[in-house]
Amino acid sequence: MKAFITVIGHDTVGVVAKVAALCSELNINIEDVTQSILQGMFAMIMLVDITHCSVSHEELHKRTDALAKEMGMQINVTRQEVFDAMHTI
């Protein structure tokens, strides 16, 4: 199962490393990443495979919410099937 992880907030050192560390800890495979810094704001989209994630989807959201709070950023996790359903006419 694929998902998108988006990260938005003020650019700081270690954002990519912290999100990647959480993914590694939870057995989430990062398949693709794009990131930009737009006038001091950091924006990243990751395509990940959560098939073998070691926690439930609810727990994944709790963990990313905690990391977002720690970093002062916004992190969202959207399963690809949900994204596809939202954008299908």
3-class secondary structure per residue, 28-49: CEEEEEEEEEECCEEEEEEEEE
Fill in the DSSP letter of residue 81.
Answer: H
The per-residue pLDDT for 68 is: 98
Model pTM score: 0.89
Does residue 54 contact residue 63 with C-beta atoms inside 8 Å? Answer: no
For each of the domains in the chain, give its residue range(s) and CATH number, in order of start.
2-87 (3.30.70.260)
**pLDDT tens per residue across all 89 residues of the chain:** 999 999 999 999 999 999 999 999 999 999 999 999 999 899 999 999 999 999 999 999 999 999 999 999 999 999 877 777 777 76
**Element holding 3 (H helix, E strand):** strand 2-10
